[in-house]
Chains A and B, each alone.
Chain A
Amino acid sequence: MSDLVTLTIDGQQIQTAPNTLLVEAAAQLGILVPVYCYHPKLAPIGACRMCLVEIEGMPKLTPSCTTPVKEGMVVHTQNARVEKARRGMLEFLLIHHPLDCPVCDKGGECPLQDYTYEFGPRKTRFRYPKRHWDKPLQIGKNILLDRERCIMCLRCVRFCEEISDHQQIGVFERGHSQCIGTVPGHSFDSQFSGNTIELCPVGALTGAPTRFFGRTWEIQHTPSICTGCAAGCNIRIDHRQQRDVVRLWSRENKHTDDGWLCDRGRFGYEFVNQDRLKDFKILQDGQLVDATTQQATVKAASILSKHANSGSLGVLASPILTNEELYAVEWLTRSVLQTSSIDHTASAVNPQAVQLHSVVREAGFRSGVLTDIDEAAQIVTIGVDLSNDQPITELRVKKALFQRKAQLVSLYPETIELGRYTEHNLIYEPGQEASVVASLAAAVRSGGGEGVVGQAARLLSSEAPKAVIVGWKLQGLSDFSALAKALGELASALGPDVPCITIYPNCNTRGALDLGITPGWLPGGVAATGSSESGMTGIQILEAARDGRLKALWVVGAEPLLEADPELVKAALANVEFIYQGWSLRDVPVDPDVVLANVTFAEQAGTFTNTDGRVQRIYPAVKPHGRSRPGWQIVADLGRALGKTWEATSDQEVFEQIRQAVPAYSQIKWSEVGTLGVQSGASAPPAMAGATG
């Protein structure tokens, strides 16, 4: 214990690690030191002087956010001198502050309001006119800047420098005209710009899409999961009286998002509020008319039963449905309708590459989780552009690069955003993936070689901990077996126990794979045998529908339709009996015969499985629009209409069934999933899967 430092804060002794900042040590004791510029994820700067404390033996007050603890320090955070300093600082900060709290989006959750109320002076002695600027200033697509409200804590600028490295905003001028602004000629269009709204301790940076969303004391918060990509970022849904979703906020989970949220996720909630299906509908005389739940269910069931067990039905289920919904769809399709043509995507995926996470495990990698990036000193990305494919993981990689000086090797057909930070950009012609990976593996084994590959190989042949990230774009390769072999060579060249993280496209693609929403695979990642073997893939389903080989389509969620050629989708849907289950008809080009109104993720309870297999729960935030219902309930009704009863009355009961069906989930206790999720047994011994298969 000798490496701990002992000090006294407000008469309380504390032992803490060296280099802990005073403000953190005080927080450990539960002592509140007001801060604006300090943020645990940003480097200390000491800009706002709000956290001044008195240290015995020091002539002047000291900012506690930049001062590390020292042995024997005696600190006072609450005496008259400190309180006078706080009062003075707040008076300074408020000199030019417009005090327009009634119209400010931050009002109610604003530290400047709170601390002024708690520590501040009641009056200002400043008798001169306040500084005025045009406001609000739209500095980026999603960000509005109000320079009058700014207190120059520089959290936003530091975020853009230290975390995202999108240095689009900076500090301009000096003295009383000092302000935040964008780099001349550029706008603040970083895809992480929304985080500065959260970081801003005042209302200087506010969201343009969420402007005047309501007052903070009127909104309720519900924990949920972002559906933007497969990272599974934890979010907080802010809603007004369970009606509209007004804002998404980040919710820190070190396993997935590390406290940040990208703009695609943060502002991508409009589909919950707009163009929603409120009623079940049926097609009558070429017109979609509202129908009762019963009528629509019976009609859908009659279409399904007509084509059951005949190979003339295709099922497409969206990978942004919950595990519970997907499980229900899988149950109805395989067990009741005896159909094996079921898929979660309509993009071209090589059948060998569907279960990409299993493929890399078989190649010899360890199933990686996102936090493995935090341990790695060398990161290899193969066929993935994280800034498009999973922005939040890009931030995690950047953290490794900036804070721990990790090295990156990038294999991608073009220069990616992360390529700025490495010399090891292995750019190849699309289609050459296998040969590039194989040549890298060979070079690593021989300890070097010529050119970029050789340099990268020299780097990778060291003993440092490594992590490999592979992207779903590799799934589309026509010659996947060569790549699988090359990955195997790379795995053996890099050494044992190298984690490999698979990046999937959608928030529950991993769940869809685990639950058998893909032809040829049953729930639990078990290869299908016998009658259920020869299902069609998504693209084949659409082609067969267009060519008249399929007579009926059941589409749950429109996402697969968006991935295919629009002409093909239109021709396919017009040519079959079409049952659509979803939350909006916006992306459905052809009027379906039956429309079943499904709720979105914001209205139901359930689970999502993120890209590395972490099972996380969502909670109902808003009330279902109209008569829409959770998908598994609709499917249960369809099953009942088809004469098959499915015993489940709550999402928990459905999850219990999933646990029994999917070995990787068998260890997950519902009570433990909570708001932060549980890692599914991705690292479970393969023997387990084999035993069930």
Chain B
Amino acid sequence: MISEFIKGLGITLLQVIRKPTTVNYPEEKRPTVARARWRHKLLRHEDGLERCIGCSLCVGACPSHCITVVAADNTDEDRRSPGERYAAVYEINMLRCIFCGYCEDACPTGAIILGPDFELADYDRASFVYGKDRLLVPAPGEIARVKTRF
């Protein structure tokens, strides 16, 4: 019987000297895995044009219907993306999103990717609808418009 006590206490003592598994989040952050699928980003071509052409294929692929795209015409004066069409509105409702990554699969231009940013908590529901201002990566030389949280 006494041996059981010692065995149990031994495990406890082992935990005391072991390096803790938790980290002091948010001061400390654990690196995410290489293929983590969290917050979406809309990418740009190297010349700064948006990759997204507003084709809505991501909307079609999305199982949780969390994406809204409204397309518009590119003009020579105001060119946003190569070709005829760009996304005037691109919204993702992060509350609905299940981070399955189907949008990434569906995208014909590789415009949308799910990145390692996982800190999506917020205080009101409306701010979970991410528009292009938060999704689109800044153009080269442009000051980041992507709001950072915390």
Which residues of A line the B interface, CB within 8 A?
A: 100, 102-103, 107, 135-136, 211-212, 214-215, 217-218
Q: How far is the CA of A136 from the CA of B85 in the complex (A)?
A: 11
Q: How many whole Å from B133's CB to the nearest CB in chain A?
A: 21
A211 touches B55 (CB 8 A): no
- Complex contacts, A103 vs chain B, CB 8 Å: 53-55, 71, 83-85
- Contact A212-B57, Cβ < 8 Å, known A100-B83, A135-B84: no
The yes or no answer to B72 lying at the interface (CB within 8 A) is yes
Q: How far is the CA of A107 from the CA of B60 in the complex (A)?
A: 12
Task: Name the residue in A100, A102, A135, A215 with the highest tally of chain B Cβ atoms < 10 Å from its Cβ.
Answer: A102
Q: How far is the CA of A215 from the CA of B106 in the complex (A)?
A: 14
Q: How far is the CA of A318 from the CA of B55 in the complex (A)?
A: 41
| Known A103-B54, A103-B85; further 10 A-B contacts with Cβ < 8 A | A100-B83, A102-B55, A102-B57, A102-B109, A103-B71, A135-B84, A212-B54, A212-B72, A215-B60, A218-B60
- Contact A212-B73, Cβ < 8 Å, known A102-B57, A103-B53: yes
Q: How far is the CA of A215 from the CA of B60 in the complex (A)?
A: 9
A-B contact pairs, 16 of them (CB 8 A): A100-B83, A102-B55, A102-B57, A102-B109, A103-B54, A103-B84, A136-B84, A211-B73, A212-B54, A214-B71, A215-B56, A215-B59, A215-B60, A218-B56, A218-B59, A218-B60
Which residue of B has the minimal Cβ distance to A102?
Answer: B55
Which residue of A has the minimal Cβ distance to B59?
Answer: A218
A217 touches B60 (CB 8 A): yes
Q: How far is the CA of A215 from the CA of B57 in the complex (A)?
A: 9
Q: How far is the CA of A217 from the CA of B57 in the complex (A)?
A: 10
- Complex contacts, B72 vs chain A, CB 8 Å: 212
A102 touches B59 (CB 8 A): no
The yes or no answer to B108 lying at the interface (CB within 8 A) is yes
- Complex contacts, A136 vs chain B, CB 8 Å: 84
- Complex contacts, A102 vs chain B, CB 8 Å: 53, 55, 57, 108-109
- Complex contacts, A218 vs chain B, CB 8 Å: 56, 59-60
Which residue of B has the minimal Cβ distance to A212?
Answer: B71
- Complex contacts, B70 vs chain A, CB 8 Å: 214
Q: How far is the CA of A427 from the CA of B105 in the complex (A)?
A: 67
Task: Name the residue in B53, B56, B71 with the highest tally of chain A Cβ atoms < 10 Å from its Cβ.
Answer: B56
Q: How many whole Å from A638's CB to the nearest CB in chain B?
A: 38
Q: B56-68 interface mask toward A, CB cutoff 8 Å, 1 = contact, 0 = none?
A: 1101100000000
Q: Total A-B residue pairs with C-beta atoms closer than 8 Å?
A: 34
Q: B23-62 interface mask toward A, CB cutoff 8 Å, 1 = contact, 0 = none?
A: 0000000000000000000000000000001111101100
Which residue of B has the minimal Cβ distance to A98?
Answer: B83
Which residue of A has the minimal Cβ distance to B81?
Answer: A103
Which residue of B has the minimal Cβ distance to A103?
Answer: B85
Q: How far is the CA of A135 from the CA of B84 in the complex (A)?
A: 8
Q: How far is the CA of A214 from the CA of B57 in the complex (A)?
A: 11
Q: How far is the CA of A136 from the CA of B60 in the complex (A)?
A: 25
Which residue of A has the minimal Cβ distance to B72?
Answer: A212
Please provide the 3 A-B residue pairs with the shortest distance between their CB atoms, ordered closest to farther. Answer: A102-B55, A212-B71, A103-B85
Q: How far is the CA of A212 from the CA of B59 in the complex (A)?
A: 15
Which residue of A has the minimal Cβ distance to B88?
Answer: A212
Q: B79-91 interface mask toward A, CB cutoff 8 Å, 1 = contact, 0 = none?
A: 0000111000000
Q: How far is the CA of A103 from the CA of B73 in the complex (A)?
A: 10
Q: How many whole Å from A212's CB to the nearest CB in chain B?
A: 4
- The contact of A212 among B85, B108, B109, by CB within 8 Å, is B85
- Complex contacts, B60 vs chain A, CB 8 Å: 215, 217-218
- The contact of B56 among A100, A135, A214, by CB within 8 Å, is A214
Q: How far is the CA of A103 from the CA of B52 in the complex (A)?
A: 11
- Complex contacts, A215 vs chain B, CB 8 Å: 55-57, 59-60
Q: How far is the CA of A103 from the CA of B87 in the complex (A)?
A: 11
- Complex contacts, B53 vs chain A, CB 8 Å: 102-103
Q: How far is the CA of A215 from the CA of B56 in the complex (A)?
A: 7
- Complex contacts, A212 vs chain B, CB 8 Å: 54, 71-73, 85
Q: How many whole Å from B1's CB to the nearest CB in chain A?
A: 70
Q: How many whole Å from A609's CB to the nearest CB in chain B?
A: 37
Which residue of A has the minimal Cβ distance to B57?
Answer: A102
- Complex contacts, A217 vs chain B, CB 8 Å: 60
Q: How many whole Å from A247's CB to the nearest CB in chain B?
A: 14
Which residue of A has the minimal Cβ distance to B107?
Answer: A102
- Complex contacts, B55 vs chain A, CB 8 Å: 102-103, 107, 215
Q: How many whole Å from B71's CB to the nearest CB in chain A?
A: 4
Which residue of A has the minimal Cβ distance to B70?
Answer: A214
Q: How many whole Å from B135's CB to the nearest CB in chain A?
A: 19
- Complex contacts, A211 vs chain B, CB 8 Å: 73
Which residue of A has the minimal Cβ distance to B56?
Answer: A215
Q: How many whole Å from B63's CB to the nearest CB in chain A?
A: 14
- Complex contacts, B59 vs chain A, CB 8 Å: 215, 218
- Complex contacts, B83 vs chain A, CB 8 Å: 100, 103
Q: How far is the CA of A135 from the CA of B85 in the complex (A)?
A: 12
Which residue of A has the minimal Cβ distance to B108?
Answer: A102
Which residue of A has the minimal Cβ distance to B84?
Answer: A103
Q: How many whole Å from B68's CB to the nearest CB in chain A?
A: 9
- Complex contacts, A214 vs chain B, CB 8 Å: 56, 70-71
- Complex contacts, B57 vs chain A, CB 8 Å: 102, 215
Q: How far is the CA of A136 from the CA of B75 in the complex (A)?
A: 11
Which residue of B has the minimal Cβ distance to A107?
Answer: B55
Task: Name the residue in B59, B70, B84, B108 with the highest tally of chain A Cβ atoms < 10 Å from its Cβ.
Answer: B84
Q: How far is the CA of A337 from the CA of B60 in the complex (A)?
A: 54
Q: How many whole Å from B72's CB to the nearest CB in chain A?
A: 6
Q: How far is the CA of A136 from the CA of B109 in the complex (A)?
A: 21
Task: Name the residue in A103, A136, A218 with the highest tally of chain B Cβ atoms < 10 Å from its Cβ.
Answer: A103
Task: Name the residue in A100, A107, A212 with the highest tally of chain B Cβ atoms < 10 Å from its Cβ.
Answer: A212
Q: How far is the CA of A100 from the CA of B55 in the complex (A)?
A: 10
Q: How far is the CA of A444 from the CA of B88 in the complex (A)?
A: 65
Q: How far is the CA of A217 from the CA of B73 in the complex (A)?
A: 20
- Complex contacts, B108 vs chain A, CB 8 Å: 102
Q: How many whole Å from B129's CB to the nearest CB in chain A?
A: 15
Interface residues of B in 1-19 (CB under 8 A from A): none
Q: How far is the CA of A366 from the CA of B55 in the complex (A)?
A: 54
- Complex contacts, B56 vs chain A, CB 8 Å: 214-215, 218
- Complex contacts, B84 vs chain A, CB 8 Å: 103, 135-136
Q: How many whole Å from B50's CB to the nearest CB in chain A?
A: 13
Q: How many whole Å from A107's CB to the nearest CB in chain B?
A: 8
Q: How far is the CA of A214 from the CA of B54 in the complex (A)?
A: 9
Q: How far is the CA of A107 from the CA of B56 in the complex (A)?
A: 11
Q: How many whole Å from A211's CB to the nearest CB in chain B?
A: 6
